[in-house]
């Protein structure tokens, strides 16, 4: 597994381009700058096969439509995030709508679900609390958690749909499931 991190947008949300040795790639949280991400994909000869969304805040999904249109890659997200991506609802954090993705390209995944991107095995873990429908993706023992956790901190819960008790329950679940040495890749910083 290979990981490229590209902070995007005004909030510098981390977009991760995770690929196998054959360059088959998934993009996690392309929050903005779809043209720049497409350029990175081309420069590195990466083939985007899936877009994974940890949650529906605009700084994590603002570039999804551009990547879908440029690559034809489907988008995998939680149930509550699908209407935001499809332009039916605004982002729960700020109410802004994001550019709508064709509904046929949006695939809802559930807790415990699994995906394969090339040689990468992706496990879907429901981790609500920061935002409705928040997910963490485990890929080859690495956790891509969006805004669930940060370095020495946790995700904020003051936006609509956030809930601190639920966030703590999600973190407790992760602590019980994974060892302290598990690599965690966060949504910012």
Cβ-Cβ contacts under 8 Å for 189 (sequence gap 6 or more): 14, 150, 151
Burial of 67 (0-12, 13-18, 19+ CB in 10 A): buried
pLDDT tens digits, 132-180? 999 999 999 999 999 999 888 999 898 888 999 999 999 999 999 999 9
Which residue has better confidence, 58 or 23?
23
pLDDT tens digits, 18-33? 999 999 999 999 999 9
Q: What is the mean pLDDT of the chain?
A: 94
CATH code, 65: 3.60.15.10
Mean pLDDT of 64-73: 96
Residue 94, pLDDT above cutoff 70: no
Mean pLDDT of 74-92: 87
Q: Which of 156, 153, 159, 147 is nearest to 188 (CA)?
A: 147
95 pLDDT band, cuts 50/70/90, is low
CA distances in angstroms from 114 to 42, 93, 125, 170, 186, listed in the order given: 27, 28, 9, 19, 20
For 25, the domain range is 2-186
Alpha helices in 27-63 (DSSP H): 34-43, 58-61
User: How many structural domains comprise the chain?
Assistant: 1
Mean pLDDT of 44-55: 97
């Amino acid at each position: 597994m290979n990981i490229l991190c590209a902070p995007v947008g005004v909030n510098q949300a981390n977009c991760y381009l995770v690929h196998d040795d054959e360059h088959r790639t998934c993009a996690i949280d392309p929050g903005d700058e779809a043209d720049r991400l497409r350029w990175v994909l081309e420069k590195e000869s990466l083939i985007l096969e899936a877009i994974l969304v940890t949650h529906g805040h605009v700084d994590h999904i603002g570039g999804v439509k551009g990547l879908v249109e440029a690559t034809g890659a489907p988008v995998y997200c939680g149930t509550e995030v699908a209407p935001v991506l499809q332009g039916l609802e605004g982002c729960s954090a700020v109410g802004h709508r994001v550019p709508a993705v064709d509904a046929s390209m949006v695939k809802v995944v559930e807790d415990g679900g699994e995906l394969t991107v090339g040689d990468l095995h992706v496990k879907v873990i429901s981790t609500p609390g920061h935002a409705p429908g928040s997910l963490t993706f485990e890929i080859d023992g690495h956790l891509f958690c969006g805004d669930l956790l940060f370095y020495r901190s946790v995700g904020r819960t003051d936006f609509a749909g956030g809930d601190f008790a639920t966030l703590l329950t999600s973190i407790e679940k992760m602590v019980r499931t994974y060892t302290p040495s598990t690599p965690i890749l966060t949504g910012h910083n």
